Amino acid sequence: MSILRGKKVLLGITAGIAAYKTASLVRLFIKAGAEVQVIMTPAAKDFITPLTLSTLSKNPVHSSFTNEDDENAVWTNHVELGLWADFMLIAPATANTMSKMASGTSDNLLLATYLSAKCPVYFAPAMDLDMYKHPSTKASFDKLTSFGNTMIPATSGELASGLVGEGRMAEPEDIVQFIEKDILNSLPLKGKKVLITAGPTYEAIDPVRFIGNHSSGKMGFELARVAANLGAEVVLVAGPNHQQIQHSAVQLVHVVSGDDMYTAAHADFPSADIAILSAAVSDYKPKNVASQKIKKNDTSLHLELVKTKDILASLGEIKKNQFLVGFALETNNELENAKGKLTRKNLDMIVLNSLNDKGAGFGKPTNKITIIDKKMNTLAFELKSKAEVASDIFNEILKQIHA
């Protein structure tokens, strides 16, 4: 899955012949899972039609502050557009537009939106060879990058004038790859490995029956998504569940029993930077597992249970530089029990949720948590979706590891 999935892309198109390539650019962003809105300078419509771009982006194309064809004209809010975007891309960026960007000139909707944008801005120059090499153009490059904008360099090739040389806008595929790489390199968990456990474990009674619990695994899967989107390499060790995840940075390891999860977690823990054990591992398992299905002959069945291996405690014992996070699902004396677990198991942080809280616990799309750190500081959160909870957890982890 592309790092662009879910991103809001504001594409600014100026009046250069390379504008014809923006149809492919919009398609690539959409294919990567991004949402795209397009702003064109009025003259850009001479090179590619708004109808083409609105059809591909599935959004109206903006080119002026009001719709001149509408008697009840509605103002296009350039501030809202600038705030909406996760990043803005101006492609092609002509010498004329870049000069105006550098000087702060605001004589069209695109430039007004650029000056209002709070997000990262990329620009992909496109012009003829002599224009590209002109000192005034270089001055625009330098000034725009000094503002914090990112330039996607032009390439060499045949130009509209018939000359061959530098000034050709980067190809759409290369622009998308450039932005993906730039975003990845700026992510806080780039180069880090995160180990996550999720879901229940099933402890066999016989070939048909097992001891388990109602954990859906959703919390762990949401944590894996957030970690991957923050740039991490993720190993997700998951017990039996119906969750799905598709992300190139997530390696999904399927397990069944607590012993399976113990082995898998220990295999990846030594190379992990962060480990979050959100799985609901069975505390007990049958001492003896029947090799054949137990027949229903008696009115009662007696099972002798023994403790399963404590995965979290075992990782706490061998922990070196890893940041280790555990979960505590409690029904009484919640804070006291969670703090005790944090200390006993040598954790750096514990996430407490209580079955007494409506909307929290197994099998629900929401959760209500309290985070406790190693200094026993507590931070309580309101009821949120598990996706939002996963983001809250990683925000606190990042604060802790960068403290």
For residue 296, report the phi and psi dihedrals to the nearest 5 degrees: -85, 75
59 flagged as catalytic: no
E strands present in 175-320: 193-198, 203-204, 210-211, 233-238, 250-254, 274-277, 284-286, 305-307
Name the pairing type of β-strands 384-385 and 233-238. unpaired
Cα 244 to Cα 216: distance, rounded to the nearest angstrom: 11
Alpha-carbon distance 236 to 195, whole Å?
6
CB environment 48-60: b (16+ within 10 A), e (fewer)? bebeebbebbeee
Which member of 213, 241, 346, 395 is catalytic? 213
Alpha carbon distance 280, 266 (integer Å): 17
Give Cα 112 to chain centroid, integer Å. Answer: 29
Q: Is the distance from CB of 265 to CB of 277 less than 8 angstroms?
A: yes
Element (H, E) at 116: helix 109-116
3-state helix vs strand vs coil in the chain, percent to 5:
35, 25, 40
Rounded-to-integer distance, Cα 188 and Cα 185, Å: 8
Tell me how long the chain is: 403
**Catalytic positions, written as ranges:** 213
